[in-house]
């Protein structure tokens, strides 16, 4: 791939054009895969012999948990791009992704709690995975709050991207700390893409469709929200210039 062509999308105008063109596709894909995946999972999969029908929660729990982490990784990458190459689109994409990631974390936490209630007999356990996600949620909160608190766009982009880098290191540290602190009830990462032997095919295929659906949903939302942020930024710049001129 030609790298220079890639950086063209760092031009806000070009990005908006591309996003305008891509958005309906991704939105459509997200709608189709999500609806079909969830319907497949909900209506046409058998109950697990051990977990009963609660196994159906997996089609929401695992994809949202996956996206909660991937959203943070995406923010990390875009923050780095902002720090190194100073493309506004990159910083604004990180800003746009944060609330989506936070909602994904929340979905993972809530479905996890609802699932844990019948399976473990408790809504919440201070299990390493649960705790890590709670901490991840707090990181999202702080990150979003910092964006909202700073008025100057460039300052906000700089500070939040540094916070994202430092936060990533500490989030990783917390993950290990929490692991050390309490070995928990949660099963291991039974569902990573390379370890499918833990899951029977009947559950695996609809789960894949749901994961694809969440990925498309995330892409569509981030495209739309980045477009919004670019426009909002341009509006603020125009208004500021007008005030200066008046």
Partner 1 sequence: MMPDLGKYAEAVLSSYAVSILMIVVLVMLSVRRSNRVKKELQEVESKVKSNG
Partner 2 sequence: MIALLLRDIRLAMRAGGGFGLGLSFFLIVVVLVPFGVGPQSALLTVIAPGVLWLGALLACLLSLDRILALDWEDGSLDLLATSPVPMEGIVSVKALAHWLTTGLPLVAAAPVLGLLLNLSEAGYKWLIISLFLGTPALSVIGTFGAALTVGLKRGGLLLSLLVLPLYVPTLIFGAEVARRGAEGFDVTTPLLMLAGITCGTIALLPFASAAVLRVNLR
Site residues (vs partner 1, CB under 8 A): 38, 42-44, 47, 52-54, 56-57, 60-61, 64, 99-100, 103, 106-107, 110-111, 114-115, 117-118, 217, 221, 224-225, 227-228, 231-232, 234-235, 238-239, 241-242, 245
Which residue of 23, 163, 208, 224 would you call a contact of partner 2, by CB under 8 A?
163
**Residue number with CB closer to partner 1 (35 or 166):** 35
Partner that binds at residue 167, options partner 2, partner 1, none, CB closer than 5 to 8 Å by kind: partner 2
Judged by CB under 8 A, does residue 149 bind partner 2? yes
Which partner from the list partner 1, partner 2, none does 221 bind, CB cut-off 5 to 8 Å by kind? partner 1
Minimum Å gap between C-beta 235 and partner 2 is: 23
To 10 degrees, the CA torsion angle through 208, 198, 190, 220?
0
Residue 55: count other Cβ atoms within 10 Å of its Cβ.
Answer: 21
Residue 84 interacts with partner 2 (CB under 8 A)?
Answer: no
Alpha-carbon distances, residue 241 vs 36, 235, 237 (angstroms)? 49, 10, 6
Q: Is residue 126 involved in binding partner 2 (CB under 8 A)?
A: no
Output the smallest distance, CB 26 to partner 1, in A: 12
Apex CA 25: angle with CA 22 and CA 30, to 5°? 120
Measured from the CB atom, is 36 or 168 closer to partner 2?
168
For residues 9 and 149, give the distance between their C-alpha atoms in angstroms, rounded to a whole number. 28
On the 0-12 / 13-18 / 19+ scale of CB atoms within 10 A, 9 is middle
Write the CA distances from 221 to 24, 93, 140, 227, integer angstroms.
11, 10, 17, 10
Six-digit token string for 184:
């928990």
Q: Which does 139 bind (CB under 5 to 8 A by kind): partner 2, partner 1, none?
A: partner 2
Does residue 159 touch partner 2 according to CB under 8 A? Answer: yes
Residue 52 has phi, psi (to 5 degrees) of 65, -150
Which residue in the block uniquely carries the two structure tokens 């929490």? 178
User: What span, in angstroms and rounded, lies between the C-alpha atoms of 51 and 237?
Assistant: 55
Contact residues: partner 2, CB under 8 A:
135, 138-139, 141-142, 145-146, 149-150, 155, 158-159, 162-163, 165-167, 170-171, 173-174, 176-178, 180-181
């Amino acid at each position: 791939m030609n790298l220079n062509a890639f950086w063209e999308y760092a031009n806000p105008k070009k990005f908006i054009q591309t996003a305008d063109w891509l958005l309906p596709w991704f939105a459509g894909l997200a709608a189709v895969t999500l609806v079909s995946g969830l319907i497949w999972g909900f209506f046409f999969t058998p109950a697990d012999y051990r977990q009963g029908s609660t196994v159906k929660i997996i089609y929401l729990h695992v994809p949202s948990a996956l996206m909660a982490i991937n959203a943070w990784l995406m923010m990390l990458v875009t923050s780095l791009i902002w720090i190194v190459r100073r493309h506004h689109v990159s910083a604004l994409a990180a800003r746009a992704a944060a609330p989506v990631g936070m909602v994904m974390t929340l979905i993972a936490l809530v479905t996890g709690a609802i699932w844990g209630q019948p399976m473990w007999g408790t809504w919440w356990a201070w299990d390493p995975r649960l705790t890590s996600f709670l901490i991840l949620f707090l990181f999202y909160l702080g990150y979003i709050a910092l964006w909202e608190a700073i008025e100057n766009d460039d300052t906000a982009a700089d500070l939040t991207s540094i916070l994202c880098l430092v936060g990533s290191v500490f989030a990783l540290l917390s993950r290990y700390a929490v692991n050390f602190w309490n070995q928990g009830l949660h099963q291991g990462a039974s569902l990573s893409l390379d370890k499918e032997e833990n899951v029977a095919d009947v559950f695996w295929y609809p789960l894949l469709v749901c994961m694809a659906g969440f990925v498309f949903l995330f892409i569509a939302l981030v495209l739309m929200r980045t477009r919004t942020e670019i426009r909002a930024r341009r509006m603020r710049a125009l208004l500021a210039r007008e005030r200066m001129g008046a």
